[in-house]
Structure 1
Amino acid sequence: MELALISDRENYVPSDHSTPSALPVAMEAYRRPCVGLHSQAPMTNKETSNNYGDIIVTLNDTTRIINCPNNIQWIVQTLSGRRWRSCSFWRRRDALINQLDFEAQADGDYALTPENRKALEALPRIHGCV
């Protein structure tokens, strides 16, 4: 699959949830609910829901990264029962990626595939900065 990249990714402005997503084209393939864990229910702005509408990447069936509903940070979440539990909160892209790499050494749930790494690297360096 060939991805179209936007060269000016530092000027990305996250979605304000009232307009269609502003994520770069390369990210669109990764913005999806977790396969097999959601019903056909409409997308929601409840971040604990399987049908949350602003998922950045899904690392596996029990770990995902979302854009927070207030559009101020990225959140790493794990599935706990039927709800997603927020584990950590990030405003800096490189710190998020470094922490996921560190966690992956102890827990494979945080391992990044090349596609997931590319999607995260397409995020702005600092959340909310233009």
Structure 2
Amino acid sequence: MNSHRESDDSYRQVVVILNESWRIVECNMAVQWILQRAKNKRCGRAWASEGFCRSREALIRLSTGKSGQIEPSARTFLDTLPTRFEQNAGRAG
């Protein structure tokens, strides 16, 4: 079941998985993208927000600076995001 909580592993607004420890989601208010890092917790995995962006350029810069190696397909996907986050248009395709 998909969750509405951004910190859940099953959050419904995941935009792209960058690698096994990092992902990008659309915030639950639909106003920005959030870079998140996986954290272990007692009964599974939780996600901690590491940065918030409204422009694709800032999101790519933040992601490459913090997450280390990004999967090539994820990097290509980032390039297809809109230049600016627009409400209800934060995810490509």
Normalising by structure 2, report the TM-score: 0.79
**Whole-angstrom distance in 2 between the partners of 1:115 and 1:93:** 16
Give yes or no for contact 1:77–1:84 (8 Å, CA) kept in 2.
Answer: yes
**Whole-angstrom distance in 1 between the partners of 2:35 and 2:65:** 14
Query: 2:23: which partner in 1?
Result: 64
Alignment of 1:93-104 (within 5 A): 93-103=56-66
Identity, % of aligned pairs? 31
Which structure is higher in helix share? 1
SS state of the match for residue 64, structure 2? helix
1:111 aligns with 2:74: no
Give yes or no for contact 1:100–1:111 (8 Å, CA) kept in 2.
Answer: no
State the 1:97 CA deviation: 0.8
1:77 aligns with 2:36: yes
Which structure is higher in strand share? 2
Query: 1:55: which partner in 2?
Result: 14
Aligned length: 84
Structure 1 residue runs of 4 or more that deviate by more than 6 Å after TM superposition: none
Rg larger in structure:
1
SS state of the match for residue 82, structure 2? coil
Give yes or no for contact 2:56–2:84 (8 Å, CA) kept in 1.
Answer: yes
State the 1:60 CA deviation: 1.8
Unaligned 5+ runs, structure 2: none
